[in-house]
Amino acid sequence: MATPVKVYGPPLSTAVSRVLACLLEKDVDFQLISINLAKGEHKKADFIKIQPFGQVPAFQDENISLFESRAICRYVCEKYKEKGNKGLYGTNPLAKASIDQWLEAEGQSFNPPSSALVFQLAFAPRMKLKQDEGLIKQSEAKLAKVLDVYEKRLGETQFLAGDEFSLADLSHLPNTQYLVNATDRGELFTSRENVGRWWGEISSRESWKKVVEMQKST
Amino acid sequence: MVVKVFGPVHAACPQRVLACLLEKDVDFEIVHVNLDQGEHKQPDFLVRQPFGQVPAIEDGDFRLFESRAIIRYYAAKYAERGPNLLGKTLEERALVDQWLEVEAHNFNDLVYTMVLQLVVLPRMGQPGDLALVHSCEQKLEKVLDIYEQRLSNSKYLAGESFTLADLTHLPGTRYLMNEAKMGHLITERKHINAWWEDISSRPAWKKLMNLACF
């Protein structure tokens, strides 16, 4: 039996939970090594050795030490092609291209405004930091435009990259989970018929439910 | 059949794709999109790229957008042709992806913001936000210190060969050094400077500079 892979970071981190969701979809055993962000463990020398930008997550297996959640997910999908959800990163070049396209859309267009909203609305209050109202308004407007594009797309296909659940959809789970369940802006998603339908489907996957459990038990 | 690349030849994201196609010797045709006139926000273009951004490609019946997805596709499709831009092993490929993500999330935003404030807005007759530029510059210095450390241990970002991880930095870095006049960020760092000299003198990049009349 293979040694479990190692993931460094707290499960509450959106980027860390992206990797956990992927590992669970692919049925890959992992060991989660928690990093206490509040105590600045991610900026300490030991961690900087494996993630020089001082960000979570980091990942290690017997062959590689890696960072950047979307790169880790791609690696896990390629290395464990035959395990778990085999189609997660596509089973042919055209399917993979479509998944990469929507993974990039997530990283470039969805992530910036949704991350800003997650931090401002879900984390800043907990950390007793002052909220930036201007940034919140700006981010909400940007995210609404992105979700209008998604609404149209998800009226044409069941999932973002096509008619199968893929890494592209998975990549959206962490931020959306917070927005829908930990802020009052969930209706950005639920008021859009196709986006709401899509969110319901992807968030009820067993793998994501397990991640949410892990987050709750922290 | 040539690959049609929709977007202006001088814009950074289309250049990312064109640099890759030139490295791989893939025939292409540039279909100009007039950003100043808002052509990228017209219904005809939105069918191609629903976020209203450049580039998009059309290859026969196949269409794709997002420059980093396009370069991954062509680097894989023509893996056996020209330089190997993706790495030979699974682990090498993972490092290419890692640094592609670093460029997208730690480098690009800072460079884009600085170029917008220093070059694009003034060209449109609007004042740039110099405080914002300064803040970005300080953050970028820290990021580049990490790149400097990396490039002191390996010739290119993902290892000992030129890959997409390096290519993806070409367009933005050129804008940073030329129009934005922030070249010192590159030239003051020994290993980054050597890396930049190397990757920017590749024949494919020089061909693109000619095409763009830079």
Per-residue pLDDT of chain A (218 residues; tens, 9 = 90+): 578 999 999 999 999 999 999 999 999 999 999 999 999 999 999 999 999 999 999 999 999 999 999 999 999 999 999 999 999 999 999 999 999 999 999 999 999 999 999 999 999 999 999 999 999 999 999 999 999 999 999 999 999 999 999 999 999 999 999 999 999 999 999 999 999 999 999 999 999 999 999 999 98
**Which residues on chain A are in Cβ contact (under 8 Å) with B86?**
none
Q: How far is the CA of A96 from the CAs of B26, B72, B142, B158, B206, in angstroms? A: 20, 10, 34, 22, 31
A interface test, pick of B16, B73, B88 with most A CB neighbours within 10 Å = B73
- Does the global pTM surpass 0.90? yes
Residue in chain B lying closest to A149 (CA):
B50
- Cβ atoms of A24 and A85 within 8 Å: the answer is no
Q: What is the mean pLDDT of residues B90-103?
A: 98
Is A47 an 8 Å CB contact of chain B?
no
Cα–Cα distance measured from residue B106 to residue A182, given in angstroms and rounded to the nearest whole number? 27
- Work out the minimum CA distance from B204 to partner chain A, whole angstroms: 24
Token pair in block for residue A47: 């961690």
A146-151 long-range contacts, CB within 8 A, separation 24+: A146/A109, A146/A110, A146/A113, A146/B51, A147/A188, A147/A189, A147/A192, A147/A195, A148/A192, A149/A109, A149/B50, A149/B51, A150/A110, A150/A192, A150/A194, A150/A195, A150/A198, A151/A192, A151/A193, A151/A194, A151/A195
* CB distance B113 to A83 below 8 Å: no
Chain A CB contacts of B109 below 8 Å: 112
Could you tell me if A57 and A7 are in contact, meaning their C-beta atoms sit under 8 angstroms apart? yes
Distances (CA, A) of B90 to A43, A76, A81, B40, B206: 29, 10, 12, 37, 30
- Tokens of residue A74, six digits: 């791609």
φ and ψ at residue A17, rounded to 5 degrees: -65, -25
Using CB atoms within 10 A of its CB, is residue B147 exposed (0-12), middle (13-18) or buried (19+)? buried
Tokens 């991640």 found at: A211
Among all chains, which residue has been given the structure tokens 């994501």? Answer: A208
Minimum-distance CB partner of A100 among B62, B73, B95: B73
Tokens of B171: 């367009």
B143 touches chain A (CB under 8 A): yes
When CB atoms are compared, the residue of A66, A74, A93 closest to B77 is A93
Q: Tell me the C-alpha distance between B77 and B14, whole Å.
A: 19
Q: What ipTM does the predicted assembly reach?
A: 0.97
Task: Collapse the DSSP code of B123 into the 3-class scheme (helix H, G, I; strand E, B; otherwise coil) and give the result.
Answer: helix
CB A103 within 8 A of CB A167: yes
Q: Which of A68, A109, A146 sits opposite B101 (nearest CB)?
A: A68
The amino acid sitting at A53 is F
Residue B65 forms contact with A (CB below 8 Å)? yes
pLDDT score recorded for residue A218: 81
| A101 at interface of B, judged by CB pairs closer than 8 A | yes
- Which residues of chain A lie closer than 8 angstroms to B94, CB-CB? 64, 66, 71-72, 74-75, 78
Beta-carbon-side half-sphere exposure of residue A209 (alpha carbons within 13 Å): 5
Which helix H or strand E contains A148, and what residues bound it? Answer: helix A133-156
pLDDT at position B211, please?
96
Q: Which of A22, A25, A45, A31 is CA-nearest to residue A2?
A: A31
